Amino acid sequence: MSQIPVTVKIDADVKQQAQKLAQRLGLSLSSIVENKLREAVSERRVVFEEEYLPNEKIAKELDKIEEDVKAGRNLSGPFNTFEELERHLNSLGHAS
């Protein structure tokens, strides 16, 4: 497969961030661009989305929840019926 150079104008900050990402992934910027173009051609679409990155407070809460799950703490259920769930919630002081 022959390769040809392509010139693309992009924001300088975007290029710098993309180069840092490529370096962390052990890839070249060219390989990332080519991969994304191949994906667009193959799928006949271009998807724009942002990865969800929780703020510091939420990240700490998620870490605590993960620790609780691993330790088997603060878990409820499973419930086989809605009535079982309702009884459990009522026992916690929640109204149904």
Residuewise pLDDT in 10s, the chain (96 residues): 789 999 999 999 999 999 999 999 999 999 999 999 999 999 999 988 888 889 999 999 999 999 999 998 888 888 999 999 999 989 988 554
Could you tell me if 96 and 86 are in contact, meaning their C-beta atoms sit under 8 angstroms apart?
yes
Rounded Cα gap, residues 6 and 24, in angstroms: 23
Per-residue confidence (pLDDT) for residue 94, from 0 to 100: 59
Q: How far apart are CA 17 and CA 23, in angstroms?
A: 10
pTM: 0.48
Q: Where are the alpha helices (DSSP H) in 1-96?
A: 12-25, 29-43, 56-71, 82-91
